């Protein structure tokens, strides 16, 4: 990327990637400007935009096509597209899977995306394979939506795992 050399964020990402994986929860509004749309994706290990963000960045409406567009610029790492009541689409470069959402009666969606992201990272850090990690994340996000507030409905790891 021509703008990478002068961007201090790239230097920080290169330094950090030696020490720890870099994750990105969603797409910042500035990501939609011209060539910068995908400028930093080669430097992250986990990129997880919402369907709306993924559509804005790629122009695609189908999750598999969105992921394929991101994969052109992010050769390694995990791409996760949050699909709201339809679950999520995960692509780790080898496995591609659509994981359905847990069915619930929605009370409040505040915090659902952040809960999903945290739960996915937790599941992966605990060594879960991709599809069960997606189910765990979907279950945690669904639980989040069953009560008012960003974390009231969130349960323990063990409880969430037992309810997948």
Alpha-carbon distance of 133 to 110, in angstroms, equals 21
Domain that holds residue 126: 103-164
Read off the DSSP letter of residue 101.
P
**Co-location of 75 and 41 in the same domain:** yes
Alpha-carbon distance of 49 to 89, in angstroms, equals 11
Active-site annotation, residues: 114
**Co-location of 128 and 55 in the same domain:** no
Residue 104: what pLDDT? 97
Structure tokens at 27: 């797409």
Residue 39: what pLDDT? 61
**Co-location of 94 and 113 in the same domain:** no
pLDDT in tens, the chain (164 residues): 444 556 666 566 555 554 445 454 455 444 444 335 666 666 788 999 999 999 999 999 999 999 999 999 898 999 999 999 999 999 999 999 999 999 999 999 999 999 999 999 999 999 999 999 999 999 999 999 999 999 999 999 999 999 99
């Amino acid at each position: 990327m021509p703008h990478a050399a002068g961007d201090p964020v790239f230097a920080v990402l290169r330094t950090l990637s030696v020490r720890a994986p870099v994750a990105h929860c969603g797409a910042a509004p500035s990501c939609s400007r011209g060539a910068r749309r995908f400028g930093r994706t080669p430097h992250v290990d986990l990129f997880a935009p919402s369907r709306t963000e993924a559509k804005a960045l790629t122009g695609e409406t189908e999750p598999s096509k969105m992921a394929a567009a991101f994969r052109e610029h992010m050769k390694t790492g995990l791409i996760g597209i949050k699909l709201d009541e339809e679950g999520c689409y995960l692509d780790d470069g080898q496995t591609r899977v659509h994981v359905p959402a847990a069915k619930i009666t929605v009370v409040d969606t505040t915090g659902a995306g952040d809960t999903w992201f945290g739960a996915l990272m937790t599941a992966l850090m605990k060594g879960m394979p991709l599809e069960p990690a997606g189910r765990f994340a979907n279950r945690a996000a669904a639980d989040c939506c069953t009560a008012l507030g960003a974390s009231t409905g969130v349960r323990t790891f063990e409880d969430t795992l037992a309810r997948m």
